[in-house]
Amino acid sequence: MVTLDVQKKIIDRLIREGYVGNTEDGVTLYNQLMECFEELNLSLAFGSPTADELWDLFEKFNLFGRSFSILGWLNEWNERRLEKRDAWMLPDDMKPVVEAVAIKIGVPVELLEFNKFRQGTMYVGKPGGLADFINITGDILADPNDPCPLKSIEAILAHEFYGHRMGQSHIPKTWRDEYTASYTAFLKTEDILSKDQRLELFDDAIYKIMNCSSELVSREFDDETYCYFKAIEDAEKLELLNKLRKERVIYV
Ligand SMILES: [Zn+2]
């Protein structure tokens, strides 16, 4: 149960921190954040949070990302965030470091393209060889405060190469694709990465199941379809999570 006072503080903070420009947008975003909050059953788990606690939960569970994508503000927000972050490019002196890691873990150096576009480190593949490269940007030096478990250059490159490129990338940008990439990379790197680096991939598979959910967007234009897929995915996600949790107990 969120009190009116907490609601008001959250909306004030959304404006103060530049997430929205006015109270009306603040209310819209707040409502969307709370809807995502309910969808994840967080209100059951977190009772009556203070404004600070609630804000932390929004951040922890990436509800800003979800809400912005539902509201269609994501591109605009990303642009603003990227403008602020002038250091999106990987500095020149770090390129040899990344190349050395690539060679060490069996990723062909010729697949690496540095700072081609600023949307982040990612594999770009198109059928027929129209595109086949890994875009490398500054985020390959992971932010320790970012909740994503992929931290080492080794694990990030393995996710892109052994996961997305060599694995079966079937539905780009969905939780299945992201989960599959990390889990496949985990399976394929037994003799290549250290145990800790492989654990990053394993934990990232769990993280991607829980946090990547572009399917949510489809609700915008088709309520029934969305509800149908969501029900299937929740069961599927739960099954996969249980499977991975059991495996991690054995793996660790
Ligand atoms: Zn990925």
Which tens digits make up the pLDDT trace of 78-105?
666 666 555 688 988 889 999 999 999 9
Q: Report phi then psi at 46, rounded to 5.
A: -120, 15
Same domain, 71 and 167: no
How many angstroms is it from 56 CA to the middle of ligand 1?
A: 25
pLDDT surpassing 80 at residue 194 = yes
Helix (H) or strand (E) holding 166: none
Ligand 1 centre to CA of 119 (Å) is 12
Q: What is the pLDDT of residue 22?
A: 86
Q: Three-state DSSP class for 15?
A: helix
Tell me how far the alpha carbon of residue 160 lies from the centroid of ligand 1, in angstroms: 6
Alpha carbons within 13 angstroms on the beta-carbon side of residue 164 total 24
Question: Does the residue 215 lie in any domain?
Answer: yes
Residue 142 within a domain:
yes
How many Å apart are CA 49 and CA 1, to the nearest integer?
A: 8
* Shared domain check, 247 and 143: yes
Position with higher pLDDT, 20 vs 231: 20
Distance 79 CA to ligand 1 centre (A): 20
Residue with tokens 């404006």: 15
Residue 104 lies in a domain: no
Asked whether residue 9 falls in the same domain as residue 71, the answer is yes
d(CA 177, ligand 1 centre) in Å: 7
| Domain extent at residue 44 | 4-84
> Ligand 1 centroid to 121 CA: how many Å?
9
Q: What is the pLDDT of residues 89-148, one digit of tens each?
A: 898 888 999 999 999 999 999 999 999 887 789 998 877 777 889 999 999 998 888 889
Kindly give the distance from the C-alpha atom of residue 30 to the centroid of ligand 1, in angstroms, as a whole number. Answer: 29
Distance 113 CA to ligand 1 centre (A): 16
Res 169: pLDDT: 56
pLDDT of residue 236: 83
| CA–centroid distance, residue 43 to ligand 1 (Å) | 29
pLDDT of 182 > 70? The answer is yes
pTM listed for this prediction: 0.63
The tally of domains found in the chain comes to 2
Domain C-terminal end among 84, 116, 147: 84
Would the pLDDT of 221 be above 90? Answer: no
Do the Cβ atoms of 116 and 133 come closer than 8 Å? yes
Is residue 141 located within the same domain as residue 80?
no
- Mean pLDDT in residue range 193-220: 78
64 has a pLDDT exceeding 70: yes
